[in-house]
Structure 1
Amino acid sequence: MRINTKQTSPKITTLAIKTMNNKSASKIAKSLSGSALSQTNTSKQTSAKMETIASKVLNSEKYSKETKSLAGTVLSQANKKRK
């Protein structure tokens, strides 16, 4: 497995923490937040399942700008060789 050199930015880390603490945040937003937080200051990569979820969020009109920011971050930290 390759080491992921991309890490979650402080701005997205803050957004992810706020999302996790928001009782009205969607399950998908919280899942994306958890994935982003797990990649803060580590070499962990996005799982295939989270890649799929993040891709669907980015291609949907129903998610907020914040959720799409989380999805973009998660997807940018994915394994590029995975198909």
Structure 2
Amino acid sequence: MGTNSKKTSSKVATLASETLRNPRSSAIAKRLAASAMSQSDGAKQTGADMEAIASHVLNSDKYSEQTKTLAATVLSQSNTERKGGGR
């Protein structure tokens, strides 16, 4: 299985933390934030289900820029084989 050693930046980790603590954040934003936080040390990769959610968020006009930032981070940490061989 291809691995992806990217990890969440401190800026995005801060955004993720703020999102998780904000009672007004959407459920999808919180799921993306939790995924980004779990990848802050680079040891974990995004699963296929979170890839689908992140892709949906990025292709939709209804989500905030903050949620899209979290989605982009989660997608960038996907398994390289599912992303097309690490290209």
Say whether the fold is shared (TM-score over 0.5). Answer: yes
Matches within 5 A, 1:44-59: 44-59=44-59
TM-score, length of structure 2 as denominator length: 0.90
Q: Which has the higher contact order (CA 8 A, sep 6+)?
A: 2
Coordinate RMSD, CA, aligned: 1.2
1:4 shift after superposition:
2.7
| Aligned-residue identity in percent | 58
The one-letter code matched in structure 1 to 2:45 is Q
The one-letter code matched in structure 1 to 2:5 is T
- Contact 1:3 1:44 (8 Å CA) reproduced: no
Mark the runs of 5 or more structure 1 residues left unpaired by the alignment: none
1:80 shift after superposition:
2.3
CA distance in structure 2 between the aligned counterparts of 1:30 and 1:5, rounded to whole angstroms: 23
TM-score, length of structure 1 as denominator length: 0.94
The runs of at least 4 aligned residues of structure 1 exceeding 2 Å deviation read 1-4
